[in-house]
Amino acid sequence: MSDLLERLRGRGWRMTAQRRVVAEVLDGDHVHLTADEVHARAVSRLPEISRATVYNTLGEMVSLGEVLEVSTDRRAKRYDPNAHRPHHHLVCARCGAIRDVHPAGNPLADLPTDERYGFMVSGVEVTYRGICPNCAATA
């Protein structure tokens, strides 16, 4: 079942049909869906759910730290239910396919103090870009 749903319930979230559906959609596929893709899938289970609700719900799950927002391109944000395992992303420049990756090394440690300009550095995102096997074959 939905671990995500359990975690959210455990935080005193008011449970509604809409929120349940959004959580189930996200947790169902471990792909990186856009908000509108989530909406489309949610609609097929709960036809009257609105776009605004999907956006709100995703935003709340992100605030709670249960879902990650991923922006690998300038199009839509994508939502990653895999928030509790730190990881980075590998993106196909042609088709946009995304894979979670776990590089060795610690990029945070690689930023020397004199390159921090007094910032309190709290996080780092790494996005690898390339061509996926599929697209390479169809080149």
Partner DNA sequence: ATCCTACAATGGACATTGTCCAAGTCAAGC
Partner DNA sequence: GCTTGACTTGGACAATGTCCATTGTAGGAT
Provide the annotated binding site for Zn(2+).
92, 95, 132, 135
Q: Which region, judged by CB under 7 A, interacts with DNA, from 24-32, 47-55, 97-105, 106-114?
A: 47-55
Quick check: 6 binds DNA (CB under 7 A)?
Answer: no
Instruction: Rule CB under 8 A: choose which of 62, 67, 127, 138 binds a second copy.
Output: 127
Contact 40, 56 (CB under 8 A): no
In the chain the first and final C-alpha atoms are separated, in Å, by 40
The 10 Å CB-count burial string (b at 16+, else e) for 6-25 is: ebbeeeebeeeebbbbbbbb
Query: Should residue 105 be labelled a site residue for a second copy when binding is judged by CB under 8 A?
Result: yes
List the one residue from 17, 31, 95, 111 that touches a second copy (CB under 8 A). Answer: 111
